């Protein structure tokens, strides 16, 4: 029987992680379950950085970016010895189950740990990349999209003023979700994603067509995992060489995409997932990730969430092509 649950955030931070922590903590209190927060993810489990929490511990955090529990990537947890240390601390604190918030690296650690020690674990997907199989949306993705769109809107102002061509690189690792959706939302002329390798020649032809049709400035959104060139600077250099009439600039969004106050969508999503995670642990579920499919909470085995591939909406590529004339 579960009497005490531990919650941690791990891997890259994402807006809405605090809302998820708040939801897990308050759901435990509601169900008369003790709750502890584990600082710095799996590293905190190894270093015994574990603190009791209650409903008041999570006051005024739903609107905050980042994570009050901190996060870290932990090499030591990859070793059997590291995981044994973590388990000993779990036993010392009499923790019966874990809720882990993070991405596929977090879930890989959770799955191995669960197999070794049979500790009930439920995962909540928190990553701006939206690249986790088994859920349509991850916590932080919607906020990151809005951050990118706001930045591109500002870049467009200066691009128009100077007749410039801007290449804007966005995050997303090997997935093009952020680039594709933010690109359409911000009215980009071209969008380069890893899932549809456009090639430099085709990109050049497309930009020349745009110029002939009367466009004096352009925005090209590039996913960081795109394979069109070695990197966004190489792509920009190629276009500049072949279209000297354009002033070409590169803007790399970087870590600003991971910060900021979470959107309403991410706050609600995180709140729903936190409640569902605690309820599923209490009903005997384990080794699974909470997802959202067609606006319903779902469970996906951790192994599937890790090994499955998140697909971009191919129809959006067609929409982008039509709207970029």
Query: pLDDT for 137-193, tens place per residue?
Result: 999 999 999 999 999 999 999 888 887 889 999 998 888 999 999 999 999 988 999
Structural domain contains residue 254: yes
213's CB contacts (< 8 A; 6+ apart) are 325
In this structure, the answer to whether residues 122 and 220 fall within a common structural domain is no
In this structure, the answer to whether residues 29 and 124 fall within a common structural domain is yes
188's CB contacts (< 8 A; 6+ apart) are 152, 168, 182, 219, 220, 221, 320, 324
Most confident region among 50-64, 186-200, 215-229, 230-244 by mean pLDDT: 50-64
In this structure, the answer to whether residues 240 and 146 fall within a common structural domain is yes
SS3 category, 166: strand
Q: In the prediction, which pLDDT does 87 show?
A: 98
In this structure, the answer to whether residues 110 and 194 fall within a common structural domain is no
SS3 category, 178: helix
Q: Of 241, 258, 275, which one is at a domain's C-terminal end?
A: 258
Question: Helices 177-185 and 314-323 meet at what angle, rounded to 10?
Answer: 30
Provide mean pLDDT across the span 311-320: 89
Structural domain contains residue 315: no
Rounded to whole angstroms, the Cα distance separating 39 from 10 reads 9
Q: Which of 13, 129, 131, 142 is catalytic?
A: 129
Q: Are strands 121-125 and 218-223 parallel, antiparallel or unpaired?
A: unpaired
Q: In the prediction, which pLDDT does 302 show?
A: 96
In this structure, the answer to whether residues 208 and 299 fall within a common structural domain is no
Structural domain contains residue 323: no
The enclosing H or E element of 190 equals strand 190-192
Q: What is the pTM of this model?
A: 0.94
Q: Of 227, 258, 289, which one is at a domain's C-terminal end?
A: 258
Structural domain contains residue 319: no
Q: How far is CA 173 from CA 111, 115, 224, in A?
A: 22, 28, 6
- Contact in structure between 5 and 34 (CB atoms under 8 Å): yes
What is the domain-level CATH number for residue 29?
Answer: 3.40.50.450
- Contact in structure between 262 and 89 (CB atoms under 8 Å): no
Does the pLDDT of residue 301 top 70, yes or no?
Answer: yes
- Contact in structure between 198 and 192 (CB atoms under 8 Å): yes
In this structure, the answer to whether residues 12 and 136 fall within a common structural domain is yes
In this structure, the answer to whether residues 204 and 269 fall within a common structural domain is no
In this structure, the answer to whether residues 191 and 154 fall within a common structural domain is yes
Angle at 286 between CA 44 and CA 269, to 5 degrees: 75
Angle at 30 between CA 3 and CA 48, to 5 degrees: 45
Q: Could you tell me the two tokens for 263?
A: 């959107």
User: Residue 100: left if φ>0, alpha if ψ -120 to 50, beta else—which one?
Assistant: beta
Provide mean pLDDT across the span 259-274: 97
Rounded to whole angstroms, the Cα distance separating 18 from 171 reads 21
Structural domain contains residue 268: yes
Instruction: List alpha helices for the chain, DSSP H.
Output: 17-30, 41-46, 80-92, 104-117, 141-162, 177-185, 200-212, 232-242, 264-282, 302-307, 314-323
Domain interval for residue 193: 141-258
Structural domain contains residue 218: yes
- Contact in structure between 280 and 291 (CB atoms under 8 Å): no
Tokens 């191919």 correspond to what residue?
A: 314
Stronger pLDDT, 87 or 189, i.e. the higher one: 87
- Contact in structure between 203 and 248 (CB atoms under 8 Å): no
Tokens 């549809």 correspond to what residue?
A: 196
Q: In the prediction, which pLDDT does 216 show?
A: 67
Tokens 């939302």 correspond to what residue?
A: 185
What is the domain-level CATH number for residue 166?
Answer: 3.40.50.460
Provide mean pLDDT across the span 216-244: 87
Using CA of residue 263, residue 267, residue 272, residue 276, what is the dihedral sign? positive
Structural domain contains residue 318: no
Provide mean pLDDT across the span 241-267: 92
Q: In the prediction, which pLDDT does 194 show?
A: 86
Q: In the prediction, which pLDDT does 217 show?
A: 72
pLDDT in tens, 102-117: 999 999 999 999 999 9
Structural domain contains residue 314: no
The pLDDT-based confidence of 309 (bands split at 50, 70, 90) is confident
In this structure, the answer to whether residues 11 and 123 fall within a common structural domain is yes
Q: What is the mean pLDDT of the chain?
A: 93
In this structure, the answer to whether residues 32 and 167 fall within a common structural domain is no
* Least-confidence region, from 22-31, 223-232, 239-248: 223-232
139's CB contacts (< 8 A; 6+ apart) are 14, 15, 16, 17, 19, 20, 101, 124, 125, 126, 127, 262, 266, 269, 270, 273
In this structure, the answer to whether residues 239 and 268 fall within a common structural domain is no
In this structure, the answer to whether residues 157 and 241 fall within a common structural domain is yes
Structural domain total, the chain: 2
Let me know if 142 is a catalytic residue.
no
Tokens 């009497």 correspond to what residue?
A: 3
pLDDT in tens, 232-252: 999 999 989 998 888 899 999
């Amino acid at each position: 029987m579960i009497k005490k649950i531990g919650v941690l955030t791990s891997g890259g931070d994402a807006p809405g992680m605090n809302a998820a922590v708040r939801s897990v903590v308050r759901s435990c209190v509601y169900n008369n379950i003790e709750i502890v927060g584990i600082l710095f993810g799996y590293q905190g489990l190894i270093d015994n950085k574990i603190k009791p929490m209650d409903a008041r511990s999570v006051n005024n955090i739903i609107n905050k970016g980042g994570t009050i529990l901190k996060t870290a990537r932990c090499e030591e947890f990859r070793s059997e010895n590291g995981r044994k240390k973590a388990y000993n601390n779990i036993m010392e604190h009499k923790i019966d189950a874990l809720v882990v918030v993070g991405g596929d690296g977090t879930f890989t650690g959770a799955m191995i740990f669960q197999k070794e020690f049979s500790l009930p674990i439920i995962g909540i997907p928190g990553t701006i990349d939206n690249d986790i199989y088994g859920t349509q949306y991850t916590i932080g993705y919607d906020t990151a999209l809005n951050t990118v769109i706001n930045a591109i809107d500002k870049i467009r102002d200066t691009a128009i003023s100077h007749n410039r061509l801007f290449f804007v690189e966005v995050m997303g690792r090997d997935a093009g979700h952020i680039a594709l959706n933010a690109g359409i939302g911000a009215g980009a002329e071209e969008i380069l994603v890893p899932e549809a390798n456009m090639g430099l020649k085709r990109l050049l032809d497309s930009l020349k067509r745009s110029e002939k049709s009367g466009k004096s400035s352009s925005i090209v959104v590039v996913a960081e995992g795109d394979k069109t060139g070695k990197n966004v600077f190489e792509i920009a250099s190629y276009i500049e060489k072949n279209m000297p009439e354009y002033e070409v600039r590169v803007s790399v969004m970087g870590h600003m995409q991971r910060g900021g106050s979470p959107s309403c969508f991410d706050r609600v999503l995180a709140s729903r997932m936190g409640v569902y995670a605690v309820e599923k642990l209490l009903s005997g579920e384990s080794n699974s990730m909470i997802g959202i499919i067609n606006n319903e909470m779902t469970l996906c085995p951790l192994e599937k969430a890790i090994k499955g591939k998140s697909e971009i909406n191919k129809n959006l590529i067609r929409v982008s092509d039509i709207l970029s004339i």
